[in-house]
Chains A and B, each alone.
Chain A
Amino acid sequence: MRVTVNFEPEEIPGDSISVADLLKMRRYSFPLIIARIGGRLVERTDYETTFVREGDEVELYHLVSGG
């Protein structure tokens, strides 16, 4: 399926993938991430049960310490 991740088009095998698996696939290792699908925030507790599907616009951002 074709989706966009952080505004870049991306081809992902299959017709859906959980947010948790997408993060693993992209090797996002930082513990704190903001994830949104179609502009909607995905709660951290829902990463396993929320699925990205064809055409979705996904945004994934690291939050790192410093301020």
Chain B
Amino acid sequence: MVEAMRNQTRERLATTRVGIAGAGGLGSNCAVALARAGVGHLVVADFDLVQRSNLDRQYYFADQIGRPKVEALRDNIGRIDPEVRVEAVSLRLDADKAVATFTGCSVVVEAFDDAAAKAMLIETILERLPEAAIVAASGIAGWGRVEDLSVRRMGRLILVGDLESAVSDELPPMAPRVGVAACMEADLVLELLLGGPSPKGA
């Protein structure tokens, strides 16, 4: 019974396509969670290379320093599950490129670090990709008060975070909190793809 349910869910997810804008702390961890959950096709866009300073929270390894993040992430997901198709888009997204990259995705995950880029992507998806939902994060720096990370559902836009804790010298992004937010984003993607949350206590 459990096995049948699991197979049914994975079958549904295997045919879905999810976009991920940014392959840093949020994007790399969110992508891995979605791949493990069984999402069949991920479109990941980022222009950056893996740096040593990324290894404190991002899903990369020391021997990948200097490589484009999207390629390293495709390799890492390939080692987890070679069945998952990862489209590695190595470019800096503006509005037009975001539309071109994410057309056909039923959900797009906003996983940028820069607030202006977050706003650009959210506005672009809401205005120009009417078929897609967007799951975004705002306020995920530091540590502690994990219960302040909330979810705000606004139609096609779902926002995760405390909406206050910006990254700064005093408030660095750290693996646990960024990982929690990344997995909250991934969980919301599943909720959207599977038509709602799983029943309680099932």
Contacts and interface: CB of A to CB of B under 8 A. Distances in A.
Are chains A and B native binding partners rather than an unrelated pairing? yes
Interface string A46-67: 0000000000000101111111
Interface of A: 30-32, 34, 36, 39, 41, 43-44, 59, 61-67
Contacts of B137: 66-67
B26 interface: yes
B111 interface: yes
Interface stretch (B73-81, B98-106, B161-169): B161-169
Contacts of B167: 64-66
Interface majority SS (helix, strand, loop, mixed), chain A: loop
A41 B123 contact: yes
5 contacts: A64-B139, A65-B113, A66-B166, A66-B178, A67-B22
A34 B127 CA distance: 13
**Residue of A39, A41, A59, A67 with most partner-chain B CB within 10 A:** A67
Contact of A66 (B119, B127, B159, B173): B173
